[in-house]
A and B are shown apart, each in its own frame.
Chain A
Amino acid sequence: MKMSKLSDLEGHEDRVWNVAWNPSGTILASCGGDKSIRLWGLEGGSWVCKSVLLDGHQRTVRGVSWSPCGRYLASSSFDGTTCIWRRQDDTFESCATLEGHENEVKACGWSPSGRFLATCSRDKTVWIWEVGEDEEFECASVQTCHSQDVKKVLWHPDRDELASASYDNTIRFFCEEVDDWQCYCTLDKHASTVWGLSFGPGPEPQLASCAADGSVYVWGTKGDRRSWELCGTLERHPRPVYDVSWCRTRGFLATACGDNAVRVFVKDGGDCSWRLGCTLTQAHSQDVNSVSWSPTGGLLASAGDDGYVRLWQID
C-alpha cells in the first residue's frame, strides 16, 4: 500500500486540533488554537479555503462535527461553549450557542438520526442535547460517570448510542432508557488517557481507541450487542496517539501520533490481527492531532501542531 500527499492546506495561524468531513465528502472543516474554523473545498481541481468562521469563539476551538444531513456544523471550544452553524451554500451562519459546561468543551458529535448532539468537557461530564425543531437545543441528560476530563464523544454510526473517552483511562457507552440516558458499559484496559475513538464498517461495527501511552485497541461485541470486549491490539506507537480514524468504505485504520507520523493499518486475514500498511513519517513537522478518512473513501485528512491540514490519497 502506498499513500502520497495530495495537498497542503495552509491558513491556520496556530496548531490545528481537529478535522471533520461533511457527509458527502465535499467540505472539510478544521479548527484550532487561532479560535477559527476553516472550511475547505475543491475549486478548479484543487483544495482551497472556502470560508473562515471567526466570530464564534473566544478561545481555542477544539473540535468540530457535522450533522448527518450536512446542513449543520457544531464546534466546541475551550471557552466553554458549543456553537451551531447553519450552512447555506458556501456561507455559514451561527444559529445557536450551547452553554452549560463549567469549563473547556473538548469534543462534540451528532447522533446518526440527527436527534441528538453530545458534548464533553474538562468538567468531567457528558451532555446530551436534544435537537428540537426551529434549531432549538435542549439538554436531555448530563452524565457524570467519568472521574476526570472527558476528551472525546462519538456516536455509533447506526444507533443513537454514544461512546466517550477520558483522562480517567476509560471508555464508556451510553444509551437511552425509558426516561433517561445511562452508562451501560465501561472499558478500562487502557493504562493512560484515551484520546480518540472511531467505529469501523459493517452491520455490527467494532470500535478503535487510542491512548497517551501509544496503545491502540480494537473492541467488538458478540451476541449481546451491548457487551463490548477487547478483540485486537495494534502495534504500540512511540509517542501518544491523539486520534484514530477507521475508513468505513475500505476498512483501513489511520492513527495520528505525537511522533509526527500518520500510520495506516490493514486487517491481516483474521478478524483481530492487524499489520502496518504504510507509515507517513514526518506527515507533519510536529505532533499530528487529528486524522479523518473522507466518507467516499480514498482521501485522508490530517492536522498538526505545525498549523497545517494535509490531504493524502492512496495510490
Chain B
Amino acid sequence: MVRNDGLDNLAPSTYERAKDRETTAEELDDSIEDEIDAREIFDHLRSINDPEHPLTLEELNVIDKNHITVDPEQMMIRVDFRPTIPHCSMATLIGLAIRVQLLRRLPPTFKVDVRILPGTHVSEVAINKQLDDKERVAAALENSHLLQVVNRCLVPR
C-alpha cells in the first residue's frame, strides 16, 4: 500500500548515477591550472540530498551536467535544475541548497545564477526571482531553522 504522509511526489522516477570523473594526468600536475568546468560544478552538486526523499539530486535527475554552463573568463556559472514535478513545493528550497553549496565551495568572486529549467515548473518565474534576490537569500541564511533544513540537504548521507 502507498503510504501518504504528505509527500509532494510519492514515487519519483530515479536515474542512474554518473561514473566518477576520470582524473587525467594533466589534472594531477600541480603546475597546470585547471579551469572550473561543468563537470566540476556537477560534482559539487550531485550528492545534495532531496529534502523529502532519501535520494540525491543526481538520482532524481534534478541536476545534470548538460544544464550547467560555466564561463571561466567572465567567472559566471549558471545551473538550471529540473524539479521532479511541475508543482513541486520544494523547488525553492532545492534551489537555495544548490546556491548555498556553490557559495561555500567556490571562490566568492564567481557569479552564480540558479534557475528552474525553463518549462519544468508552474511557478518558475516567481521561484527564479526569489533565488536571484541575494538580499532575501542572505536573510534566509540568517534564519537558523531554514539554515538547518538547508544543511540537512547538504550533508552527505
Interface residues of A, Cβ cutoff 8 Å to B: 15, 33, 59-60, 62, 78, 103-104, 106, 122, 149, 151, 167, 192-193, 212, 239-240, 258-259, 285-287, 305-306
Contacts and interface: CB of A to CB of B under 8 A. Distances in A.
A305 B137 CA distance: 14
Contacts of A287: 134
Of the candidates B111, B132, B133, B135, the one having the most CB atoms from chain A within 10 angstroms of its own CB is B135
Interface of B: 108-109, 111, 129, 132-136, 138-139, 142
Contact of B133 (A60, A103, A212, A239): A212
Contacts of B129: 167, 192-193, 212
B72 to A, nearest CB: 16
Contacts, number: 35
27 contacts: A15-B138, A33-B138, A60-B138, A60-B139, A60-B142, A78-B138, A78-B139, A78-B142, A103-B139, A104-B139, A106-B135, A122-B136, A122-B139, A149-B136, A151-B135, A167-B129, A192-B129, A193-B129, A212-B129, A212-B132, A212-B133, A239-B111, A258-B111, A259-B111, A286-B108, A287-B134, A305-B108
Nearest to A15: B138
Contacts of A167: 129, 133
A306 B136 CA distance: 18
A122 B142 CA distance: 14
B133 to A, nearest CB: 6
The B contact surface, by secondary structure, is helix
Nearest to B109: A285
A193 B111 CA distance: 19
Nearest to B75: A260
A79 to B, nearest CB: 9
A173 B109 CA distance: 37
A286 B109 contact: yes
A49 to B, nearest CB: 23
B25 to A, nearest CB: 33
A78 B137 CA distance: 12
Contacts of B136: 122, 149
B109 A59 contact: no
Given A103-B139, A240-B132, 12 more contacts: A15-B138, A59-B142, A62-B135, A78-B142, A122-B139, A151-B135, A192-B129, A193-B133, A212-B129, A258-B111, A286-B109, A305-B108
Nearest to A58: B142
Closest 4 CB pairs of A and B: A104-B139, A78-B139, A59-B142, A285-B109
